[in-house]
A and B are shown apart, each in its own frame.
Chain A
Amino acid sequence: MTGIPNRPTARSLPSRSNLALFRLVGYTRTAMSRAEPPVPGMLAIDRGQNTFEMFTVAIWVLVATTGYCAAILHFWIPLPLALVIAAIATPIVLQIPFYSVGLVVMPLWRRIRRRHDRDNVPANSFATMAAFLAASAWFATQHGFAKGMAIASLVAAVLNAAAAVMMWLLRDRVRDMEKRCAEPS
Chain B
Amino acid sequence: MRGVFWRQFLHWAVLNVPLWIEPIVMAWWSLFFLLWGPVRRGVMHNLRTIKPGSLALTNFFRTWRVFWNYAWTITDNARLQETRVTPDWEFIGHEHFADLQARSGGAIMLTAHMGSYDLGAQMFGETTAQKLLMVRAPEVDPQTREFEEDLHGRTVGEAVNINFNTRAHELALDLLHGLRQGQIVAIQGDRVTPGVASANAVLFGKVTQLPTGPFALAMAAGVPIYPIFIIRAGRRRYRLVTCEPIRVDRDRHNRDEILQNAVTRWAVQLERVIADSWFQWFTFEPVFEESRP
Contacts and interface: CB of A to CB of B under 8 A. Distances in A.
Interface residues of B, number: 33
A125 B126 CA distance: 31
A41, A57, A102: residue with the most chain B Cβ atoms closer than 10 Å: A41
Interface string B91-135: 100100100000000000000000000000001001100000000
Given A42-B123, A49-B236, A91 B27 contact: yes
A91 B15 contact: no
B84 interface: yes
A123 B127 CA distance: 34
* Interface size classification for chain A: 35 or more
A136 to B, nearest CB: 15
Interface in B1-48: 12, 15-25, 27-28
Q: Is the interface of B mostly helix, strand, loop or mixed?
A: mixed
Contacts of A94: 21, 24
A2 B84 contact: yes
Nearest to A102: B16
A98 B18 contact: yes
A6 B83 CA distance: 22
A163 B35 CA distance: 43
Interface in A105-162: 118-121, 124-125, 128-129
Contact of B85 (A40, A46, A91, A129): A46
A44 B85 contact: yes
B235 interface: yes
B19, B91, B234: residue with the most chain A Cβ atoms closer than 10 Å: B19
A152 B107 CA distance: 57
B16 A120 contact: yes
B90 interface: yes
A33 interface: no
B12, B20, B23, B85: residue with the most chain A Cβ atoms closer than 10 Å: B20
A120 B90 contact: no
A2 B24 contact: no
Contact of A41 (B23, B83, B89): B89
Nearest to A16: B88
A61 B22 CA distance: 12
A18 interface: yes
Interface string B248-284: 0000000000000000000000000000000000000
B91 to A, nearest CB: 4
A125 B94 CA distance: 38
Contacts of B19: 18, 47-48, 54, 121, 125
B123 to A, nearest CB: 7
Given A3-B126, A102-B12, A44 B20 contact: no
A48 B236 contact: yes
A62 B24 contact: yes
B86 interface: yes
B17 A44 contact: no
B87 interface: yes
A128 B235 contact: no
Contacts of A2: 84-86
A24 B91 CA distance: 29
Interface string A49-77: 10101110111011000000000000000
17 contacts: A18-B19, A18-B20, A40-B97, A43-B88, A44-B86, A46-B86, A54-B19, A54-B235, A55-B235, A58-B21, A91-B24, A94-B24, A102-B16, A119-B15, A120-B16, A128-B18, A128-B21
